[in-house]
Chains A and B, each alone.
Chain A
């Protein structure tokens, strides 16, 4: 990797390790390999959101042209959010695309992602299904996001009723991941979910 990128990542790594957010356990960065080109990030779900109590892992790939081009960031932990793909974890955030600026750092990126969890932009969605639910059935969206946080990110509010429906689908021979995803996409309507899967 180009020297400037490595140098900067090393500095930023120190910056994150020393930052007060780490002290509050809000963000964290770990190394994946020795080349400093791939990192593992972690952000805590912001308080007063459906993501509260969860810890979300992120894959950070630093391009050779960093910091002139943004790092490639993706959610590794599955998450139910209009601007994050519920399948791939791809993120729709302007600063990770054309609004990137060279003075931004890994710390500011992680904090921006945390802010994105607190303030979704359903009109500029990455996951159209989630975005529609966010706009049309906001309460279902909130409980679904809570449920996903509990299942995949260690959050506190696992919703028993949703879990029952997932179990019903699993009993029909559907794998758990698909069952949960399809139920979530169908506003937890068991009949419609079954139709989607088996039609």
Chain B
């Protein structure tokens, strides 16, 4: 019994010593067979889930899925209204992922650089001719109470606003500087007329 047990122990010992070698061999074989022979199994762990290549400028989502930032960025841009993880469909966004910094990396946030996008074609709206008392900064309350207080004027102002080219940015684009000056002048005149009107209303 004892002798047999020692022999089996020896046998297991010998197999255990030989096993790692075998494993390495099989691993090497696998790599040779693999078309992506430059990639080991460990490296495949770090493939981007979108381009299936090793993740560059890697980010990881809160749900734990790895992407290249350019790939994920493009995915988020493709459907801006329904941003979900490409793997598990969890909610995902620019702020719901973490950049990964390896030792050799630059340490810059990959999210700070995005793939080149088409340049914006947005033109600034010319706001000169606007004749609105409720400013854009959210003074709506003031605007409301004033509008009710001076009803005829409010009506007058809104009518002017609808007609003015300042409300339509497309129209504003086609105004010559001279026209803009005229508009400015007109609006100033109207403001003064309105102020005089209000003062008269108050005194009367």
A, B: real partners: yes
Binding site for B on A (CB under 8 A): 4, 7-8, 11-12, 14, 65, 67-69, 101-104
Interface string of B79-98 (1 = CB under 8 A from A): 00000111101000000000
Check if B78 sits within 8 Å of A65, measured CB to CB: yes
Binding site for A on B (CB under 8 A): 35-36, 49-53, 65, 71, 74-75, 78, 84-87, 89
CA distance A153 to B86 in the complex (A): 34
CA distance A67 to B86 in the complex (A): 10
Check if B78 sits within 8 Å of A103, measured CB to CB: no
Partner of B78, one of A4, A8, A12, A68: A68
Known: A68-B74, A68-B78, A101-B86. A14 touches B35 (CB 8 A): yes
Check if A103 sits within 8 Å of B49, measured CB to CB: yes
Excluding A7-B52, A14-B36, 16 further A-B contacts by CB distance (< 8 Å) are: A4-B71, A7-B51, A8-B52, A11-B53, A14-B35, A67-B51, A68-B75, A68-B78, A101-B85, A101-B87, A102-B50, A102-B75, A103-B49, A103-B50, A103-B65, A103-B86
CA distance A65 to B36 in the complex (A): 24
User: Which residues of chain A are near B51, meaning CB under 8 Å?
Assistant: 4, 7-8, 67
CA distance A117 to B51 in the complex (A): 29
Check if B86 sits within 8 Å of A102, measured CB to CB: yes
Q: How far is the CB of B36 from chain A (nearest CB, A)?
A: 8
15 A-B interface contacts by CB (under 8 A): A4-B51, A4-B71, A8-B52, A12-B52, A14-B35, A68-B74, A101-B85, A101-B86, A101-B89, A102-B49, A102-B75, A102-B86, A103-B50, A103-B65, A104-B86
CA distance A69 to B84 in the complex (A): 14
User: Which residues of chain B are near A8, meaning CB under 8 Å?
Assistant: 51-52
User: Which residues of chain A are near B87, meaning CB under 8 Å?
Assistant: 101, 103
CA distance A151 to B17 in the complex (A): 59
Report which residue of B52, B78, B89 has the largest number of chain A beta carbons within 10 angstroms of its beta carbon: B52
CA distance A169 to B53 in the complex (A): 56
Q: How far is the CB of A139 from chain B (nearest CB, A)?
A: 37
CA distance A99 to B74 in the complex (A): 17
CA distance A102 to B88 in the complex (A): 10
Check if A11 sits within 8 Å of B89, measured CB to CB: no
CA distance A7 to B48 in the complex (A): 13
Kindly list the 6 A-B residue pairs having the minimum CB-CB distance in the complex, ordered from nearest.
A102-B86, A103-B86, A103-B87, A103-B49, A68-B78, A101-B86
Check if A7 sits within 8 Å of B53, measured CB to CB: yes
Q: How far is the CB of B97 from chain A (nearest CB, A)?
A: 14
Q: How far is the CB of B56 from chain A (nearest CB, A)?
A: 12
CA distance A12 to B52 in the complex (A): 9
User: Which residues of chain B are near A14, meaning CB under 8 Å?
Assistant: 35-36
CA distance A23 to B71 in the complex (A): 32
CA distance A8 to B52 in the complex (A): 7
User: Which residues of chain B are near A69, meaning CB under 8 Å?
Assistant: 78
Q: How far is the CB of B46 from chain A (nearest CB, A)?
A: 15
Known: A7-B53, A8-B52. A101 touches B84 (CB 8 A): yes
Q: How far is the CB of A9 from chain B (nearest CB, A)?
A: 10
Q: How far is the CB of A93 from chain B (nearest CB, A)?
A: 16
CA distance A140 to B35 in the complex (A): 49
User: Which residues of chain A are near B84, meaning CB under 8 Å?
Assistant: 101
User: Which residues of chain A are near B65, meaning CB under 8 Å?
Assistant: 103
User: Which residues of chain A are near B53, meaning CB under 8 Å?
Assistant: 7, 11
